Amino acid sequence: MRHVHGGARRAWAALAAAVMGTALLAGCSADGSGPLGMGGAVGRSPAPEDVIRVNPDDGAKGVRPGDRLRVRLPGGRLEKVSVVRSQDAQDSPVPGRISADGLTWTPEEGQLALAAKYTVDVVALDARGRRSARHTTFTTYVPDERFIGYVTPENRATVGTGMIVSLAFSREITDRAAVQRAVHVTARPPVEIRPHWFGKDRLDFRPERYWKPGTEVTVDLDLRDVEGAHGVYGLQDKTFSFTVGRSQVSLVDAARHTMDVRRDGELLATVPITAGAPKHPTYNGKMVVMDMLEVTRMNSQTVGFGGEYDIPDVPHAMKLTDSGTFLHGNYWAPEAPGTANISHGCVGLRDVKGGGSDTPAGWFFDRSLVGDVVEVVNSKDKMVSPDNGLGGWNMGWKEWKAGSAVK
C-alpha cells in the first residue's frame, strides 16, 4: 500500500472537512438498520447463492480432487472471478476462463489440489443488471492418516505490526505438545515469541507487544511424521516467512463517532465513523485486519440476525473478526459517519456506490495492510474474544504464555 506524504495529508484534511460539512444532507431508514450494520434499507436483492452459484459449496470440507470447480449464473454476466489456492502458506492464483456468454467460469487446470484451501471471489450482474458479489471458501481432502496446518499470514507477505501467526489444523490435535515442539517461529531482529492454543485445532504465536516495523519473521513447520493424534501424522515440512511493514494503529471511539489513524505514531487523520447501534453495539478491544475485499456482499442471516439487511455490493470491506465484524464503506447512509451509531456491529466509513478512491473509506482502504490494528473504545459491548479473528492482543502476556502445551 502507498505511504502518505504531506500533500496527501493536506488533501485528506480538506476531504475530511468536506465530509463533516455534508454529513446531514441525506436521510436514512426509520429504524436505522443496515448491514452488519450500516443503516439504511437499499431494497431486497436475490440471495447470493441464487445470483452466483459456486461449486463446491461455501464452507465445504474434504472436497475430493475429482470434484468440479465452477462458477455459474442463471442469467446476467460475470464481471470478475478470482480464485486463489492456499497450500503450505503459499497463495497461488488459479487461472480460468469466462465463457463467451458470460454465464460460466471454469479453471484451466485439471484436478483440485490435495490439502489446500480455495478462496473464490466473484462480481457479477444479474439478469436485471444489478451488481452482486460473493466470497466463498472450501478445503480439499487430506488423507485420513495425515493432518496439516493452514497458516496465516501467507508466505512472503508484507503485513501490519499486529499480525499474529495462526495455524488452523485440519483435524483435532490430541498431542498438542508434540505438535507445538515441531513449529518454530523466529524473528530478526530477535524478540521473544510465545505460542497459545485455542482449543484442539488452533495454535497462535505472537510477541508480547506489536512487532517492530521491518521485522522479518520465519515460520518452520517440521510436522512431517509428527503424531498429532492417535495414528494421525503431520504432512508438512515447510518454511515460510513474512515481513512486518510500517506501523498503523487506528483508534475507533464509538462515543465520539471518530477514528484516529496513526502511522508510525503520528496522527495521520481523524475520520468520521458510524459504529454499532445500541441494540447491536460494536465489540470493544483490539482487532486485526484479516482480509481486504474491494467489494463483498453482506447478508444479516449469515451472521445470526433476521432479514434486516442484504447489501450486494459493500465496498472497501476489511474483515476484523470471524464472527462478522467488518470495517467497510457505507454509501447508503452517508449522514451517519460522524453523527450517529446505526450499525449491527460494524464500523462504517463514508463511501459511494461502487467504492470511491477519494472517499474516507477508499482513502483508508488504500493505506491499509492485512495485519493492521483497529482498536475500538467507548462502545457499550464486551471486549472481543481473543480467539475471535486475530484477537490475541486482548489477552495479557502472562495468560497468553499459560496457553502453551509445553511447560
Most confident of 49-53, 64-68, 87-91, 136-140: 136-140
Quote the pLDDT of residue 300: 57
Q: Is the model's pLDDT at 8 over the cut of 80?
A: no
Q: What is the pLDDT of residues 286-310, one digit of tens each?
A: 999 999 999 998 875 455 555 565 7
Question: What is the dihedral angle through the alpha carbons of 246, 273, 362, 83, rounded to the nearest 10 degrees?
Answer: 80
Q: Comparing 50-54, 139-143, 299-303, 315-319, which segment has the lowest mean pLDDT?
A: 299-303
Supply the pTM of this predicted model. 0.72
Quote the pLDDT of residue 174: 97
Query: What cell was used for 278?
Result: 445500541
Q: Is the model's pLDDT at 167 over the cut of 70?
A: yes
How is domain 6-43+247-392 classified at the architecture level of CATH? Answer: Beta Barrel (2.40)
Q: Comparing 106-120, 160-174, 316-330, which segment has the lowest mean pLDDT?
A: 106-120
Quote the pLDDT of residue 394: 98
Q: Which residues pair with 184 in a beta bridge?
A: 220
Mean pLDDT of the 267-280 span = 96
Quote the pLDDT of residue 88: 79
Catalytic residue, chosen from 135, 196, 328, 344, is: 328
Report d(CA 335, CA 240) in Å as an integer.
Answer: 45
316 has catalytic annotation? no
Q: Is the model's pLDDT at 224 over the cut of 90?
A: no
Report d(CA 310, CA 297) in Å as an integer.
Answer: 7
| CATH number of the 146-245 domain | 2.60.40.3710
Mean pLDDT of the 308-321 span = 88
Q: What is the pLDDT of residues 14-72, one digit of tens each?
A: 333 333 333 322 222 223 333 344 443 445 667 778 889 999 999 999 999 889 999 99
What is the phi/psi pair of residue 331, to 5°? -105, -10
Strands 237-244 and 158-159: parallel
Q: Is the model's pLDDT at 236 over the cut of 80?
A: yes
Q: Is the model's pLDDT at 344 over the cut of 50?
A: yes
Distances (CA, A) of 85 to 53, 143, 145, 187: 19, 18, 23, 27
Query: What cell was used for 317?
Result: 470491506
Question: What is the dihedral angle through the alpha carbons of 290, 292, 297, 298, rounded to the nearest 10 degrees?
Answer: 40
Distances (CA, A) of 212 to 166, 188, 196, 220, 336: 18, 10, 21, 21, 36
Q: Is the model's pLDDT at 374 over the cut of 50?
A: yes
Percentage of the chain lying above the pLDDT 70 cut: 86
Omega of the bond prior to 56 within 30 degrees of 0, cis? Answer: yes
- Are domains 6-43+247-392 and 63-139 of this chain identical in fold? no
In the chain, domain spans: 6-43+247-392, 63-139, 146-245
Q: How confident is the model at residue 12 (pLDDT cuts 50, 70, 90)?
A: very low
Q: Is the model's pLDDT at 357 over the cut of 50?
A: yes
Strands 232-234 and 310-319: unpaired
Quote the pLDDT of residue 144: 78
Q: Is 360 in a helix, a strand, or coil?
A: helix
Distance, C-alpha 165 to centroid of its chain: 14
Exposure of 362 by Cβ count < 10 A (0-12 exposed, 13-18 middle, 19+ buried)?
buried
CB contact burial 281-296 (16+ within 10 A = b; e otherwise) = bbbbbbbbbbebbbbb
Strands 183-188 and 158-159: unpaired
Quote the pLDDT of residue 32: 34
Report d(CA 339, CA 358) in Å as an integer.
Answer: 20
Q: How confident is the model at residue 311 (pLDDT cuts 50, 70, 90)?
A: confident
Query: Which has the closest alpha carbon to 406: 227, 218, 203, 219?
Result: 203
Quote the pLDDT of residue 304: 54
Place of cell 472517499: 359
Task: Select from 3.30.70.890, 3.40.640.10, 2.40.50.140, 2.60.40.3780 the CATH code of 63-139.
Answer: 2.60.40.3780
Exposure of 231 by Cβ count < 10 A (0-12 exposed, 13-18 middle, 19+ buried)?
exposed
Quote the pLDDT of residue 44: 61
346 has catalytic annotation? yes
Task: Indicate the DSSP class of residue 143.
Answer: -
Catalytic residue, chosen from 196, 280, 316, 346, is: 346
Choose between 3 and 232: higher pLDDT. Answer: 232
Exposure of 350 by Cβ count < 10 A (0-12 exposed, 13-18 middle, 19+ buried)?
buried
How many Cα atoms sit within 13 Å of 395 on the Cβ side?
24
Instruction: For residue 380, give the amino acid letter.
Output: K
Quote the pLDDT of residue 322: 96
Q: How confident is the model at residue 13 (pLDDT cuts 50, 70, 90)?
A: very low
Task: Indicate the DSSP class of residue 68.
Answer: P
Q: Comparing 44-48, 122-126, 162-166, 175-179, which segment has the lowest mean pLDDT?
A: 44-48
